[in-house]
Amino acid sequence: MRRLIAAITALVLTSLPLAALAERVPYRLQADRSEVGFVFNLSGAKNRGSMPVRAADIVIDFDRFSNSTADVTVDVSRARTGLIFATEALKAGSVLNASAHPTIRFQSTAIRPNDPRNLSAGGKIDGNLTIRGITRPVTLDAAVFRQQGSAEGDLSQLSFRISGTVNRSDFGATGYSDLVADQIRLDIAARVIAAR
C-alpha cells in the first residue's frame, strides 16, 4: 500500500504545471468520504472503530510543502466500534467523555516532508491533539495523493492517509484499563476538494 501511495504521489507531482505550484491552495472536506479509524486491544484482541470527521481546514502549498497546514475536528459523539458495549464504554466519562467533550481536534504545527524535493517519500505532521480538553503534542505519518479517477495533473480532489499511535492515558482517558490497552493506533482517511 505504501508503495502504491508513493507511486501515485510521484505521478501527481511530476504532472503538475509549474503555475499550480506557486500558491497555497485551500481545500474543503468531503465529510461523507472521510473518517478517523482506530485500532484498540480489548482483552488482548484487536478491534477497530471509527469516528467521522466533522470539519477540516486544510491548505496546501505545493511549492513549499512545509508551509501547508491542517486543522481537523472529529465527532466523538458519533464514534462506532464493532461492539455496542465497547462503543458505549468509549463514550463514557472515564474514557472520551463524549457528553462533556464531543470533539477531538488536531492542529498542525509543522509539516516535514521526508524529502522536500520528492513528496512521494511521504512525511511527518507535528501538531497539537486535544482529547477530553487536554492538549498534547503528537507526530503522525502522512501521505497525500490524487483521488482515483482524477485526470492527470488535476489536483482539485486529493486524499490523505495519516497514521500514528497515541496513549489514551496521556489525555486522561484511563477507563477500563484492565480490559483495554493504553496505546491506540490511528488510521485517518481524509478526502478533500479544492475550495476554488
- In this predicted model, what pLDDT tens digit does every residue of 134-170 receive, in sequence order? 999 999 999 888 788 778 778 888 888 899 999 999 9
CA–CA–CA angle 165, 68, 105 (5° rounding)? 45
- Share of residues in the chain with pLDDT > 70 (%): 86
The enclosing domain of 110 has a CATH number of 2.40.128.110
Q: Which three cell numbers stand for residue 111?
A: 509539516
pTM confidence score? 0.83
Could you give the count of Cα atoms lying within 13 Å of 161 in the half-sphere of its Cβ? 14
Given a cut of 70, is residue 67 above it in pLDDT? Answer: yes
Burial-class residue 133 by CB neighbours within 10 Å (0-12, 13-18, 19+): exposed
What's the mean pLDDT when you consider all of the chain?
86
Report which of residues 55 and 172 the model is more confident about.
Answer: 172
Cell 497555497 maps to which residue? 24
pLDDT in tens, 95-138: 999 999 999 999 999 999 887 765 556 799 999 999 999 999 99
Which positions ≥6 away from 65 have C-beta within 8 Å?
111, 113, 116, 119, 123
Which of 56-76 are b and which e, b meaning 16 or more Cβ less than 10 Å from the residue's Cβ? bebebbbeebeebbbebbbbb
pLDDT of residue 146: 78
Range(s) of the domain holding residue 118? 2-194
Q: Which three cell numbers stand for residue 49?
A: 472503530
pLDDT of residue 14: 37
Question: How many domains does one find in the chain?
Answer: 1
Given a cut of 90, is residue 93 above it in pLDDT? Answer: yes
